[in-house]
């Protein structure tokens, strides 16, 4: 028997599986879909909610000094001036005049560098990345275009190098608020959830009597008008972020940066992502707010890509909000420094952890997707039991002779504790397959013997091993393994 999962599986397999088994559908599909927008189906929403719960609890339950908020998507437009997004949240784009296709100029060059590296030309690859980084930092867009041309990069559709100039493209979506459409009524759909945290920093600090260091966590939608949105739910125009801003005393940010870098990696391992598919990638090109930044990359079916960012943001955001709002964003630190004086008033520094719920979902789903070949072909989702959409399925061997009633009673008795379904729809083998395909860790078979011994057979998803257990033991035995605690205790 051989197993295949993760990078060997193609993205197309994952997309097809996600659609067929109710995980992810293209948005408004009956109208042929909307590019880079997706809907989560009946199983997808459960998996995504479980991932979000794991993250939320890993922040707000495991730490005394981290609390959550839920800020609005719309914010005062000045927020985005202060954060730097109005002026700086741009991607360089370039169009091919023949195919009319639009590309991210930096990604064209990165793609070429990847090709060099794949051909063993590591130095050439590194030199090209360095030059791209230099030109972008200097905002030399003509230079970027010349580099694309000198590298003989052609449009994959038209196969020509008939490029327009490179232009900066702001990724924020704007809309109008109220009935009068003038410039003052323009507001943005937030491109990140972080700013909702920054503008509430003092509200939370004061109302919660929080002491630095402390964190504020949030899960919510973010919107970016991505130029090139491919790769399924990896890059969407509407997506969900899980962000935590950790406010620290200036001078201690490097320790906290290291702490969160390590802790976040532990989280990914705890939800079942294997160590060899995870790696750090330090940023050479820093975002406008960052002093240091590292990505946690996951080996998606299309290669290692960013799943989470950990950023040391200094006092960039709070300082700018103080300047634009004219409201002090300071914290009074009563603790004493080495000379015995209180640290006093300062604007805290921030270390941020920011992970996309959708990218985490894609990583989890592609890692869990297992195709066994050989004598007994089988496809199943090897999801952590605490993340699986359905925890247990109760299956009577046959519908007659009272077995259905016993199975229904068992289902009812387990439902308050974890998600349990009842299925009597086909041959038992087929019903096992159905549950395998959506990652249900436990199937409970009710057979004729059950009537005599009050026992059922648990069939384990990954090993297909069967185990006879008393009905009365099911709640504890399964409940124990599907509990979110199993994830939280290993972070
Ligand atoms: P990328 O370089 O891939 O565009 P980014 O560096 O702009 O990502 P951040 O601004 O650091 O991303 O956002 C934090 C996290 O939000 C990312 O690590 C990712 O998981 C998620 N994210 C960002 N953009 C998208 C998107 N368009 N679709 C889905 N998730 C996204």
d(CA 342, CA 311): 28
Q: Give the global pTM.
A: 0.93
Q: Domain end: 170, 200, 219, which one?
A: 170
- Specify the ligand 1 atom closest to the Cα of 308: 18
Supply the pLDDT for residue 7. Answer: 42
Q: Does a structural domain hold residue 310?
A: yes
Closest residue by Cα to atom 16, ligand 1, is 356
- Give me ligand 1 centre to Cα 144, in Å: 23
Between 292 and 368, whose confidence is greater? 368
Supply the pLDDT for residue 6. Answer: 43
Peptide bond into 213 cis (omega under 30): yes
- Give me ligand 1 centre to Cα 43, in Å: 24
> Residue 4's pLDDT band (boundaries 50, 70, 90)?
low
φ/ψ of 324, rounded to 5, equals -75, -35
- Specify the ligand 1 atom closest to the Cα of 293: 11
Residue 291 has pLDDT above 60, yes or no: yes
Query: What value, to the nearest 5°, has the Cα angle with vertex 450 and ends 444 and 455?
Result: 65
Question: Are 360 and 394 contained in the same domain?
Answer: no
Closest residue by Cα to atom 26, ligand 1, is 235
Closest residue by Cα to atom 12, ligand 1, is 309
Considering the chain, what percentage of its residues have pLDDT values greater than 90? 90
Q: Does a structural domain hold residue 377?
A: no
Average pLDDT over residues 120-146: 93
- Specify the ligand 1 atom closest to the Cα of 360: 20
Give me the CATH number covering residue 252: 3.30.930.10
Angle formed by the axes of helices 122-137 and 105-118, to 10°? 160
Supply the pLDDT for residue 366. Answer: 97
- Specify the ligand 1 atom closest to the Cα of 229: 27
Question: Are 163 and 183 contained in the same domain?
Answer: no
Supply the pLDDT for residue 373. Answer: 87
Residue 30 has pLDDT above 70, yes or no: yes
* Range in 129-138, 304-313, 419-428 with the lowest mean pLDDT: 129-138
> Residue 307's pLDDT band (boundaries 50, 70, 90)?
very high
Q: Does a structural domain hold residue 103?
A: yes
- Specify the ligand 1 atom closest to the Cα of 311: 11
Q: Does a structural domain hold residue 98?
A: yes
> Residue 227's pLDDT band (boundaries 50, 70, 90)?
confident
Its domain, for residue 118, covers 90-170
- Specify the ligand 1 atom closest to the Cα of 237: 27
Supply the pLDDT for residue 88. Answer: 87
Q: Does a structural domain hold residue 373?
A: no
Average pLDDT over residues 191-218: 98
Q: Over the range 18-33, which residues count as b (16 or more CB within 10 Å of their CB) and which as e?
A: bbebbbbebbeeeeee
Question: Are 263 and 298 contained in the same domain?
Answer: yes
d(CA 165, CA 93): 9
Ligand 1 mutation pick, 222, 240, 359, max ligand atoms within 8 A of CB = 359
Question: Are 222 and 234 contained in the same domain?
Answer: yes
Q: Does a structural domain hold residue 224?
A: yes
Mean pLDDT of the chain: 94
Helix H or strand E segment including 266: helix 253-270
Question: Are 68 and 94 contained in the same domain?
Answer: no
Supply the pLDDT for residue 191. Answer: 98
* Parallel/antiparallel/unpaired status of strands 392-396 and 442-446: parallel
The count of other CB atoms within 10 Å of the CB of residue 146 is 13
Question: Are 144 and 257 contained in the same domain?
Answer: no
Average pLDDT over residues 126-153: 94
**Could you tell me how many helices (H) and strands (E) the chain has, helices first?**
17, 24
- Give me ligand 1 centre to Cα 297, in Å: 11
> Residue 284's pLDDT band (boundaries 50, 70, 90)?
low
Question: Are 48 and 156 contained in the same domain?
Answer: no
- Give me ligand 1 centre to Cα 286, in Å: 14
**Which pair of structure tokens corresponds to residue 163?**
């490029």
Question: Are 229 and 347 contained in the same domain?
Answer: yes
Question: Are 181 and 164 contained in the same domain?
Answer: no
Q: Does a structural domain hold residue 200?
A: yes
Q: Domain end: 135, 170, 205, which one?
A: 170
Residues framing ligand 1 (Cβ under 6 A): 192, 224, 226, 235-236, 239, 241, 306-309, 354-356, 358-359
> Residue 398's pLDDT band (boundaries 50, 70, 90)?
very high
Ligand 1 mutation pick, 241, 303, 351, max ligand atoms within 8 A of CB = 241
Residue 10 has pLDDT above 70, yes or no: yes
Ligand 1 mutation pick, 52, 309, 360, max ligand atoms within 8 A of CB = 309
Q: Does a structural domain hold residue 441?
A: yes
């Amino acid at each position: 028997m051989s197993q295949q999962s993760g990078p060997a599986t193609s993205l197309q397999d994952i997309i097809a599986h996600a659609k067929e088994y109710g995980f992810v559908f293209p948005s408004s599909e009956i109208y042929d879909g909307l590019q880079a927008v997706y809907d989560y189906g009946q199983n997808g929403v459960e998996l995504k909610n479980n991932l979000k719960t794991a993250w939320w609890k890993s922040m707000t339950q495991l730490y005394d000094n981290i609390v959550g908020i839920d800020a609005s998507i719309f914010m005062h437009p000045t927020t985005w001036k202060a954060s730097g997004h109005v002026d700086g949240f741009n991607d360089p784009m370039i169009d091919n005049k023949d195919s009319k296709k639009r590309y991210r100029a930096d990604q064209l060059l990165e793609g070429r560098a990847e090709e060099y590296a794949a051909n063993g030309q590591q130095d050439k690859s590194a030199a090209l990345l360095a030059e791209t980084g230099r030109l972008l930092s200097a905002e030399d867009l003509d230079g970027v275009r010349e580099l694309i041309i000198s590298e003989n990069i052609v449009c994959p559709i038209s196969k020509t190098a008939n490029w327009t100039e490179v232009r900066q493209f702001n990724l924020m979506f704007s809309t109008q608020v109220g009935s009068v459409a003038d410039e003052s009524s323009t507001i943005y759909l937030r491109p990140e959830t972080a700013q909702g945290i920054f503008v509430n920093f003092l509200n939370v600090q004061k109302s919660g009597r929080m002491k630095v260091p402390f964190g504020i966590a949030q899960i919510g939608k973010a919107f970016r008008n991505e130029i090139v949105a491919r790769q399924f739910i990896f890059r969407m125009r509407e997506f969900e972020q899980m962000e935590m801003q950790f406010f620290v005393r200036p001078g201690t940010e490097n320790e906290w940066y290291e702490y969160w870098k390590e802790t976040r990696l532990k989280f990914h391992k705890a939800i079942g992502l294997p160590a060899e598919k995870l790696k750090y990638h330090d940023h050479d090109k820093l975002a406008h707010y960052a002093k240091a930044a590292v990505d946690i990359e996951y080996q998606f079916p299309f290669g290692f890509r960013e799943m989470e960012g950990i950023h040391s943001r200094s006092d960039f955001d709070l300082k700018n909000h103080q300047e634009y709002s004219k409201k002090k964003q300071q914290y009074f630190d009563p603790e004493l420094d080495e000379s015995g004086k209180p640290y006093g008033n300062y604007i805290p520094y921030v270390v941020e952890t920011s992970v996309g719920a959708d990218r985490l979902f894609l990583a989890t789903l592609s890692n869990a997707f297992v195709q066994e070949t050989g004598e007994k072909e089988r496809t199943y989702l090897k999801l952590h039991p605490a993340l699986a959409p359905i925890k247990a399925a109760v299956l009577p061997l046959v519908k007659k002779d009272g077995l259905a009633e016993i199975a229904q009673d068992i289902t009812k008795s387990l439902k308050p504790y974890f998600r349990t379904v009842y299925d009597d729809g086909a041959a038992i083998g087929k019903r096992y397959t159905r549950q395998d395909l959506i990652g249900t860790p436990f199937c409970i078979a009710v057979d004729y013997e059950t009537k005599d011994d009050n026992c059922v057979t648990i069939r384990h998803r990954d090993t297909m091993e069967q185990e006879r257990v008393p009905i009365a033991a099911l709640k504890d035995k399964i409940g124990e393994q599907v509990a979110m605690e199993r994830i939280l205790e290993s972070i």
